Amino acid sequence: TMVVTESQDKMYYPPDDLKRDAHVPDFNSYLALYRKSLENPEAFWKEVADDFFWKKPATGPMLQYNFDVTIGNIYVKCMEGAKTNMCYNVLDRLVRERNLGEKVAYYWEGNSPDHHMAITYSQLLSQVCRCANVLKKMGVKKGDRVSIYLPMIPELVYTMLACARIGAVHSIVFAGFSSESLCERIMDAQSSVLVTADGVYRGEKLINLKQIADEALEKSNIMTDFMSGICSLFWCVQTPWDSECDVWWEEVMRDSPEECEPEWLDAEDPLFILYTSGSTGKPKGVLHTVAGYLLYTSLTFKYVFDHHHDDVYWCTADIGWITGHSYITYGPLANGATSVLFEGIPVHPHVGRFWEIIEKYKVTKFYTAPTAIRLLMKYGREPLQKYDLSSLRILGTVGEPINPEAWQWYHEAVGKGRCPVVDTFWQTETGGHVLTPLPAATPLKPGSATFPFFGVEPTILNEHGEELEGEAEGYLVFRRPWPGIMRTVYRNHERFENSYFKKFPGFYVTGDGCRRDKDGYYWITGRTDDMLNVSGHLMSTAEVEAALTEHPAVAEAAVVSRPHKVKGECLYCFVSLKDSREFTHTLVEELKRLGKIMRRILRQIARNEKDLGDLSTLADPKVVEELFSQRCEAA
Using CB under 6 A, list all residues that contact ligand WTA: 276, 321-323, 398-401, 423-428, 449, 510-512, 524, 527, 533, 538
Smallest separation, CB 544 to ligand WTA (Å)? 16
Nearest alpha carbon to residue 590 among 613, 559, 556: 556
CA 533 to chain centre: 12
Smallest separation, CB 414 to ligand WTA (Å)? 17
Q: Name the 3-class secondary structure at 73.
A: coil
The DSSP H or E segment spanning 423 is: strand 421-424
CB count within 10 Å of CB 585 equals 9
497 DSSP 8-state letter: H
Query: Is the CB of 211 or the CB of 498 nearer to ligand WTA?
Result: 498
Smallest separation, CB 323 to ligand WTA (Å)? 5
Smallest separation, CB 494 to ligand WTA (Å)? 21
Query: Is the CB of 95 or the CB of 538 nearer to ligand WTA?
Result: 538
Which pairs with CB-CB distance under 8 Å and at least 24 residues apart come from 558-563? Answer: 558/588, 558/597, 558/599, 558/602, 560/532, 560/599, 560/602, 560/603, 560/606, 561/532, 561/533, 561/534, 561/603, 561/606, 562/603, 562/606, 562/607, 562/634, 563/607
Contacts of 4 (CB under 8 A, 6+ apart): 27, 443, 519, 520
Query: Is the CB of 192 or the CB of 510 nearer to ligand WTA?
Result: 510
Query: Is the CB of 158 or the CB of 174 nearer to ligand WTA?
Result: 174
**What is the Cα–Cα distance from 291 to 268, expressed in whole angstroms?**
7
Contacts of 555 (CB under 8 A, 6+ apart): 549, 576, 577, 578, 579
Query: Is the CB of 214 or the CB of 306 nearer to ligand WTA?
Result: 306
Alpha-carbon distance values, 218 to 96, 150, 197 (Å): 44, 19, 17
Query: Is the CB of 147 or the CB of 510 nearer to ligand WTA?
Result: 510
Smallest separation, CB 401 to ligand WTA (Å)? 4
**What is the Cα–Cα distance from 594 to 623, expressed in whole angstroms?**
13
N- to C-terminal Cα distance for the chain?
43
Smallest separation, CB 536 to ligand WTA (Å)? 7
Smallest separation, CB 251 to ligand WTA (Å)? 36
Alpha-carbon distance values, 427 to 371, 394, 478, 527 (Å): 17, 21, 13, 12
Alpha-carbon distance values, 253 to 87, 159, 257, 339, 523 (Å): 19, 11, 8, 24, 48
Query: Is the CB of 427 or the CB of 492 nearer to ligand WTA?
Result: 427
Residue type, 609: E
Smallest separation, CB 370 to ligand WTA (Å)? 8
Query: Is the CB of 125 or the CB of 287 nearer to ligand WTA?
Result: 287
Q: 482 near 452, Cβ under 8 Å?
A: no
Residue type, 51: D
Smallest separation, CB 279 to ligand WTA (Å)? 12
Query: Is the CB of 282 or the CB of 348 nearer to ligand WTA?
Result: 282
CB count within 10 Å of CB 404 equals 13
Query: Is the CB of 399 or the CB of 455 nearer to ligand WTA?
Result: 399
Q: Nearest 5°: CA angle at 296, between 292 and 301?
A: 155
Smallest separation, CB 276 to ligand WTA (Å)? 5
Query: Is the CB of 133 or the CB of 442 nearer to ligand WTA?
Result: 442
Smallest separation, CB 512 to ligand WTA (Å)? 5
Q: 425 near 524, Cβ under 8 Å?
A: yes
Torsion of CA 302, 36, 466, 599, to 10 degrees: 0
SS3 for 566-589 is CCEEEEEEEEEECCCCCCCCCCCC
Indicate the residue whose CB is closest to ligand WTA: 428
Query: Is the CB of 424 or the CB of 576 nearer to ligand WTA?
Result: 424
Query: Is the CB of 29 or the CB of 525 nearer to ligand WTA?
Result: 525
Smallest separation, CB 561 to ligand WTA (Å)? 11
Smallest separation, CB 181 to ligand WTA (Å)? 15
Nearest alpha carbon to residue 272 among 348, 354, 172, 364: 172
